[in-house]
Structures are given as C-alpha cells and as structure tokens.
Amino acid sequence: MPPSDPAETPVPHLDEPCWERLGRLPVVPDDEPLVPMSLAPEPVRVFPAYARLGIPGAVPECFVRESVHRRLLSVARGLPPGLGLVVLDGWRPWRVQQYLFDTLFEVMRARHPTCDEETLLACTREFVAMPSRDPLAPSPHLTGGAVDVTLCDADGLMLDMGSQFDEASAASHSDHLERLDAPDARQRRARGYRRVLYHAMRGAGFSNLPSEWWHYDFGNQLWAHYGGHPQAHYGPAQLDTIEERWKRQLGDG
C-alpha cells in the first residue's frame, strides 16, 4: 500500500479533555437547524442505536446540524470502495443523556464497590458526558454537533472495529489498537478500519473524542478544544415541534 493510504497511518494519541476547562470555552450560538440523516443518500446508512435498544426518550432518527450532515456526506463519498458510513447517533435529548449517565454510573458502582463518588464519576465521564442543558456548557450530543459513526461493508453489515459501540472499556479508546505490541489478524484489520474512519472524519473537519473511536464532533466545545478554535458555534439544540411552528406562524413565537 502507498504511504498515503489512511489504513497505514496510525491514529494519534490525544489526552482526555478537562471538562471543566472545556466548559469555559465561549459559545457563540449558530441558528443552524437540526436535519434528519435518514434523508441522506447512500453510502450513508442510518441506524438510531438508542431507539433500537428501547432507551426511554430516544428518537427513531439521527438528527444533526446541517453542516454536520453535509460533512458526513463528504466523508461517506470519499471512503474506499466497498465501505459505507453508518450513523448511530447524533442529537441526543437531555433525558437520554441522563439515562445513559445514570445507568453507566450504577454499573461502575456495582463493579467497583470500594471506589469513592469522585472516582466513579471520573470513570463514568470517560464514556458518557455529564448531562447538561447549560447554554454555556452543554453536553456534546445535545448540541447536534456530536455524532457517533462506524463503517459498514457494501452489504450494509457493520465492520469489526475492535470493540463494540458504547463499550465502556479501554479497547474503545481510539488509539488502543495502536498501542498493542503484537496485534493478531483481527486486531490489525480493526486497526485499519479505525484509521480509515479517523482520517476520513478528520479530513472533513471533525475532531475525535479519544476515549471513543466512534465519537466525532463539529462546531461544539469539544471540537473547539481539539481543533484549537477560539469558540464553539453550537449550543444546546431542540427539535422543532408543531406547536412552535404554529406559534411562529401566528406571530406568537
């Protein structure tokens, strides 16, 4: 393979974010709308993972900001032949964020009964951001700028990326497979897929959360942090409702 082949270019190591410092990055809100990814043409596929799992409050669609939608299309169209992009989650209601955080926290507490509250919170935040509707420090998925993605083959079957989506283990760290001394054939193959996904997403302007190979950001505070941008563009977002539309149409909104 040529040196420029993304499957041969390692995923770099990045430090975990300091969430307190992250929340101090300014947010200059953009009114860009949320749009459904299900309207995107192939090779994008949409599989709203949390709705399929029956998580309370999850919506059966993957909504993202308009710029995120266009960038994901660009990523999908630029993938090597035979590969497609699967969108697993985008905008996430606050209720779902709270459910995920509380559920993982309780699992962590059951597994590590001697750990104090601060340690358990840190372990939980490694994989699920603290639920927040604060316009100055919203949860990444609440902004519509965070998206969870993976790769699939030409038949739409999701590829083995070395860990499951939302697996709360070190194997989910983006560079985990880069740090193995003697990866086996399966791990080498998964490492190549992670590299392809990482470099395709980075090339479209996204940043990656180091603890999750599937999580990418554009326009929010995580993106500003890892991209060295002075400010974020996306604050908390809400889906448009028929009630809000009627209010606007009647001049009450």
Q: Which of 61, 106, 167, 212 is catalytic?
A: 212
251/238: higher pLDDT: 238
Q: What is the pLDDT of residue 3?
A: 46
173 carries a ligand binding annotation: no
229 labeled binding residue: no
Position 248 scores a pLDDT of 76
Residue type, 70: R
Read off the pLDDT band of 252 (50, 70, 90).
Answer: low
Instruction: Give the pLDDT band of residue 253 (cuts 50, 70, 90).
Output: low
Residue 2: which pLDDT band, with cuts at 50, 70 and 90?
very low
pLDDT in tens, 174-233: 999 999 999 999 999 999 999 999 999 999 999 999 999 999 999 999 999 999 999 999
Residue 212 is among the residues annotated as catalytic for this protein: yes
Q: Which percentage of the chain shows pLDDT scores above 70? A: 98
Sequential DSSP letters for 106-171: HHHHHH-TTS-HHHHHHHHHTTSPPP---TTS--GGGGT-EEEEEEE-TTSPBP--SS-TT--SGG
Task: Please give the Cα distance from 146 to 220 (Å, whole number).
Answer: 7
225 annotated among ligand-binding-site residues: no
Instruction: Phi first, then psi: give them for residue 21, nearest 5 degrees.
Output: -70, -40
Domains in the chain, start-ordered, CATH in brackets? 6-249 (3.30.1380.10)
